[in-house]
Structures are given as structure tokens and as C-alpha cells.
Structure 1
Amino acid sequence: MNAAFLAALRDSGGGGLSSALHEARPPKPFALTPLLDERNRRASAASKEVRFEVGVLADALTGPILQAFAAVGTVRVARCLYRVTGLELVGAEPYPELLADARPVNRWTLQIHTPVAFFTAREEGVRRVRPFPEVEWVFADLYRKWNAFTSEAALGEGVAETVTQNLEVADYRLTMAEHLLKANVPLVRGSVGQVVYQVADARRSSAEAQAGLDALVRFSAYSGIGDRTTIGMGYVLPGR
């Protein structure tokens, strides 16, 4: 989907935008799902509907990407050519709105629809996949991406401290699943299912910090969680 998305942008006249997104250093300003069916599962020959979603993390790019895709008639994914029958803006919440609508709650549920994983760096020895969505990794990555793409909606100072010192996994129902990163390489593993995070001691977390965490959870619907979110991994939907 990553190649198909960038090619569709390029072929619709957005060649400069396609190149900029491809060459952008991490964190990249977008996230992608793979092809999904009507139940948010990986599309198959039996699917009644097939779609993909783009999460735009830089507010200024929303208009150009929508404009480019409004001119797209077909999308080629691997060897299959799909006719575009509709373009929908599923949600549009600029960062200030995400923060303004956040609530000071201390428990969150994430439904993970495509495998989530964290990959070790080269300096950490043999490259390994860490498939469990550890709370610190998940929220630290969301915090990093939020700060990378907005200066208009600063999160409270207590958010960073709560992420590293006062969050825990409250419950999870996860299974392992495989995901294709690119052709002719082994599939990678990650977790899908449901995970619940909570503030470990609400008395030591301010309402402002909890609202900031709630904003990050809402943000995850656009950014995904974990690594390789531009290649379809870590697609999540927050629950209440």
C-alpha cells in the first residue's frame, strides 16, 4: 500500500508531494492501513468492500492529499488494479481540537486491527521484533509524533512524566499475526486484539496530564502505534 499510495499521488499530479513524503525522515507525516474489508480485517477475495485509510499527521497536508486523491480513478496494489468508487474524509481533528476535546480520564482501550510491533535498532545487536505493545513504548512514540507535527497544542508538562512513571497495562487480549512489509522478505510478527492502559496511581497524575494522555489516545487513530505505520502496521481504533 505504501508504494500504491505514493504512486497514486504522483500519477494524479502530486509528484512533488509524493517525493517529499517518500524522502521525509522519521517520524513521517502519515500512516497507512493495508487493504481492509468492511469489518476492519485484511481484505480477501470474499470481502464485500475494500478500502484503505491514510492518517495525515501534518495538518497542512490534509488538503493537498485530499485534492490529489480526488483526481485518482484507479489504484494499483501489487498486481491488482482497483477502481476508486469513493473518497471519504473519515475524520478531521486538528491538534488544538484533539486537545480541547480530550477528557481527564485514567483508563483507555485500544482495538488493534493490524499487527503492532517495535523493532530494535542496529546498535542493539541482532535485529529483533518486539510484538507486545508495552505502554511506555506506545505512549512515548505517540508523544514524540505529536510534538513533531504541532507547536499549537502543547501537552502539559505532566504528560511526559506520567508516560514514563505512572502508566501500566490493565488488561489485554492479544494474539500474534503476520504482516507483509515488502515482497520477497519474511513476514514479520505483531500483536492484534485489545489492550487496556491505565494510570497506575491517579492521585499522582493531574487532570491536565490525564487530558493530555487522552488526546494522545485520540491521536492514535490517525498515527497508529508502534513501528512501520507507513507500511500498514499498528492500525488502531480507540475505545472508551
Structure 2
Amino acid sequence: MTGLVAPQPLRFGWNYDLGEFVLAPRYPRPAVTRVLADAGFHLRAEPFGAWHMGTSVPMCDQSAAAQSAIGRLIAEGVEVRNWHEPQQGSTDVLRHYGWLNSEVPFPDAEETARRARSEAGTRLGRVRLSSDSRAVTEQIAWGEVEVEARRTFDDEWMIGADRDAGRYLELRHHRPTGALSITGDASEAYAGHLRREFRLLILRETRPPTAARMRAALAAGRVPGSRQAPVAPAPAPATAVPARRR
């Protein structure tokens, strides 16, 4: 007699094509169907096998809905995973989405600002910069703009505060040339919102799971070995991230 096969975990993820998505069967069991429908995951992407929301739904609203759905699914006894980091268990995924949706300051902001000041000072002495790039680089080197968070793809993306002006900035550093530009500028009152956007758009993992992460998940017993996660549409390159000026 063949034993019952345990339901597959639902895998939550994000990419530029679909936004937030959930890898799940076309006809999930009723408890799952209800939660996904309530959260707005009502569109089907084939052959990827995912449920997602309409592209008109704002990014922050999608992420908040995903976090709510994850909490409800866990309460229903449904296993969830982070598709990009399959070694994360259900509690890890819920904590991860809590971090994505947080507007609080970054805990390592002071060290990030120190490193950014040092590197900006080095560029001032070694790289020929345009007048605009030099002005922004000097602001960072002299501590007038405090970089709170950053991440490098092809270019380096940063956010930070200009305390004297009461502004919160989004910056792009073109590493090959040293050029530095302001791509977004908002009142410091919106700092929390921009931190959240930076977590969602820049700091989160958006790539398909690597073989190494799949092996780690298998070793931890968190991904059934009989099924491999499907391949998602490729994410857009970092240079496709839209500049937002407020």
C-alpha cells in the first residue's frame, strides 16, 4: 500500500515580471485557496506554476499582503518557504517578510556610513569626477550625507540622510568611472518609506535558487528531494531599477 504524499510547501518569491508570487498548484486545497484569494494572489503564471497579483498593485502593498498570507498559512499548518532561499523554514520566511516591510533604521547604519565616508574620500583623491559627481562625493566624504544602506549589482545603490537639509536621498554609484548621482530626493519625513522600498527592491534576494542553496535546503530536510523548484523568468538587471524623484 502506498503511503500518502505530504503536501508540498508553498514557495514565496518576487521578480520584476510578476512582483510577489507564490509557487503553488493550480487547484490548492481549500485552506490555501482561501488565504491566497484574500491576499490578492488571483492571477496564474504558466508554465512557472505561480499565483501573483496584478502589476497595478503597489510593491509595498504586495509585500504586506504576502506577509499577511504567510502568517495565516502558518496558522493553518501549511508549510511555506522562501523560493530564493529554500533553506529558510516557515518561521524564517515570516521573519524575513517582517524585515522586508520594516521602516526602522538599519542596525549597521553607523558602520555603513563610516565605510562610505572613507571610500568617498579615496575617490576624491584618485578619480577624475564631473562637478556634479564631485559635489555629491564630497558631501559623503565630509559626513554631510550619511549613507545608511547600500548594495552593489552592476552599479552600487545607496540611501542616506542629508541631515542639514532635512532630505533623504537615493544614490547611484557607477563603479567603473566613480560617477555618483542622486536618483531620488524626498523629505526626511519619508525616510521610513524609502528604507522599506530599499529593502524590497535592492536588499532582498531576487535570483532563482542556486544549486548550492538547494543542496543546503536538502541537507536540512527542508525541500523534498523528489521535486526541483521550477526556473523563474529572469529578473531585470539592476540598471532597470527606476529612478524615483519626489
Same fold (TM over 0.5): no
TM-score normalized by the length of structure 2: 0.31
More relative contact order, 1 or 2 (CA 8 Å, 6+ apart): 1
